[in-house]
Amino acid sequence: MLGLVLNCAALCLPYMKILFTLLTIVVIHFHSIASERSERVFEFDTNRIAFSGVFSSSYSWQLDASWHYMINPYIGVGASIGTWEVVYPDGHPEGADWRVEYDEYGSHKPWNLFIRPSAVLKTPGVRIKKCEIGFFAQPGIMMNIPYASVSVLQGSAQTGYTRKTVSTTKGQWLAFDAKIGPSVNVGPCGFSIGYLISTHDIYGQFKCLKYDGVSFDRFYPKKTLLQGIYAMASYYF
């Protein structure tokens, strides 16, 4: 499993560069504030914002921005908004004289937008100089837009193609997930990297599409637990 996740991360290298560039900007932006406040014991703040990215075993990436209200230093409730996309799809629906329209790289990439109500759970940290090290968990419910569509090309290169759109509001759009891993805080700034597990079937809605009497379900892999790695930068205020 670890090898598969690492292979996925390597394939997603361009997206990793974008993510870590964004995380670096966030850290630099708050560096001066963190330096001042880390000189004293970190004060409890009730607002927590974070930016995170995920690379999964299904060759997909996910980005989201979140806000949580911290009830106390160890428990918070809130939500995030984000998007995900499959980088290398496992399945290409096609028939005798039709196929799903591909991009310039020869694939159709399922994607969606989501909101994710979630909780933040933290353990008391161990303080080492300016750093506070502990463990972090964020269970949540991912709610995708209950809609999926693709463009289908009918015909051939010799006779020409006609384009049609097929869509559906069926299929899985809700999933339970959790992020868990170590966290490091320096003043109001925090960083965490760890493990993600989710019931999300990235092809769940697309499996419900049908064209010319052919269900797309036959072209996509069976549902399995989605696993991956996440990286997160946070700020308390």
Model confidence at 27: pLDDT above 50: no
| Choice between 159 and 121, residue whose per-residue pLDDT is larger | 121
What global pTM score does this model have? 0.79
Give tens-digit pLDDT for 173-218. Answer: 999 999 999 999 998 999 999 999 999 999 999 999 999 999 999 9
Spatial contact of 138 and 179, defined as CB atoms under 8 Å apart: yes
Q: Are 183 and 136 in contact (CB under 8 A)?
A: yes
- pLDDT in the model for residue 101: 85
Q: Is the pLDDT of residue 172 over 80?
A: yes
In this structure, what token pair is assigned to residue 136? 């972090």
30-71 per-position pLDDT tens digit:
444 444 444 444 556 899 999 999 999 889 999 999 999 999
Cα 97 to Cα 145: distance, rounded to the nearest angstrom: 31
Is the confidence at residue 13, as pLDDT, over 80?
Answer: no
* Complete domains list, the chain, with CATH: 2-236 (2.40.160.20)
pLDDT the model gives residue 33: 46
Which token pair is 59?
């060759």
3-state secondary structure of 231: strand
Residues 164-169, mean pLDDT to the nearest whole number: 93
Is residue 17 very low, low, confident or very high in pLDDT (cuts 50, 70, 90)? low
pLDDT at residue 22, as a whole number: 53
- The amino acid at residue 128 is I
How many separate helices (H) and strands (E) can be counted in the chain?
3, 14
| The length of the chain, given as a count of residues | 237
How much is the pLDDT for 126?
93
DSSP secondary structure letters along 91-125: ---B-SSEEEPP-TTS----EEEEEEEEEEEEPPP
Where helices occur in 1-143 by DSSP H, the ranges are 2-11, 13-29, 31-37
The pLDDT of residue 40? 44
> What pLDDT, on a 0 to 100 scale, did the predictor assign at position 44?
66
Q: Average of pLDDT values for 101-109?
A: 68
Residue 79 buriedness (CB in 10 A; 0-12 / 13-18 / 19+): middle
